[in-house]
Amino acid sequence: MSIPSATEQVPGPAIHVRGLEKSYKELRVLRGVDLDVARGSIFALLGSNGAGKTTVVRILSTLLKADAGTARVNGFDVATRAADVRESISLTGQFAAVDEILSGRENLVLIARLRHLGNPAAIADELLGRFSLTEAGARRVATYSGGMRRRLDIAMSLIGNPPVIFLDEPTTGLDPEARLEVWQAIRELVAGGTTVLLTTQHLDEAEQLADRIAILHEGRIIVNGTLDELKRLLPPAKVEYIEKQPTLQDVFLTLVGARTDREQR
Ligand SMILES: Nc1ncnc2c1ncn2[C@@H]1O[C@H](COP(=O)(O)OP(=O)(O)O)[C@@H](O)[C@H]1O
Ligand SMILES: [Mg+2]
């Protein structure tokens, strides 16, 4: 019998979560979260500010322990196989972890060295090309735009080819043009076979990128489906005899609003 190493493809979903619970003292943030993310897909965890999205990501990336429930990433239990989980993932947060004084290329080479990979220079050049940073590669990161930084951050997270990537609010704080650039970079990730779990407060981001969308609200996943499935939850509105399909925003506000009304009664 051999124990699978982190880089091996383990059968089953890339991420499997059942009954996840987490409280911060009295505050019950997660109250039984269930979700599965298929390999090679983009899964958007959508929720308002404070819904618990980062808490889910921190548990899945082994930075935080759950109070109850199970979670497996790349086939490894986060509680009992934390080291294998860490080897299987990368985590990119809202605040880019790039070194301002180094150039983009130097940042990439540094990470490749830290991960003991052969030929760091070639890895850096390949990633600069993939994220349209070849021209900017020799410039200090201090001179980069927000979108370029975030792209570099995503490129850095790809070093070593982790099968699962967590992007926690990857476009928060970016201007519209930079958001489009980052979206393109995320699409590239999945084209390469990587599984992406992304959190967002932006409905359009989920609408643009995700194969499946789950809404986290008051500690639970209240809906989980494709964009079309979510839209079918609401009847189309008739506007002057022209059917208007509901937007994800309609779906979100109706579901989240309806719950909040019901629970306040
Ligand atoms: N370390 C912590 N200690 C106490 N409360 C926390 C801590 N981290 C997060 N929270 C609270 O838990 C809730 C969920 O936070 P978070 O997971 O960051 O939500 P999101 O990422 O969806 O905005 C928020 O009310 C937040 O203030
Ligand atoms: Mg957050």
Least confident range of 104-108, 143-147, 246-250: 246-250
| CA distances for 144 relative to 36, 98, 139, 210, 219, angstroms | 36, 11, 8, 27, 38
What does the pLDDT look like over 67-82, one tens digit per residue? Answer: 999 999 999 999 999 9
What does the pLDDT look like over 13-52, one tens digit per residue? Answer: 999 999 999 999 999 999 999 999 999 999 999 999 999 9
- Which residue has better confidence, 202 or 139? 139
Contact (CB, 8 A) for 121 and 129: no
Angle of CA points 205, 220, 162, to nearest 5°: 55
Structural domains of the chain, with CATH: 15-264 (3.40.50.300)
Specify the amino acid at residue 177. E
- In this prediction, residue 238 carries a pLDDT of 56
**Ligand 1 pocket list (CB less than 6 A):** 24, 27, 29, 47, 49-55
DSSP, residue by residue, 119-137 = -HHHHHHHHHHHTT-TTTT
Where does residue 65 rank: exposed (0-12), middle (13-18), buried (19+ CB within 10 A)?
A: exposed
Q: Assess whether pLDDT exceeds 60 at residue 263.
A: no
Which ligand sits closest to the CA of 172?
2
Q: Assess whether pLDDT exceeds 90 at residue 206.
A: yes
Residues in contact with 82: Cβ distance below 8 Å, sequence separation at least 6, in sequence order: 62
**Ligand 1 atom closest to Cα of residue 47:** 22
Tokens matching residue 223: 């809906």
Please state the rounded mean pLDDT for residues 223-249: 77
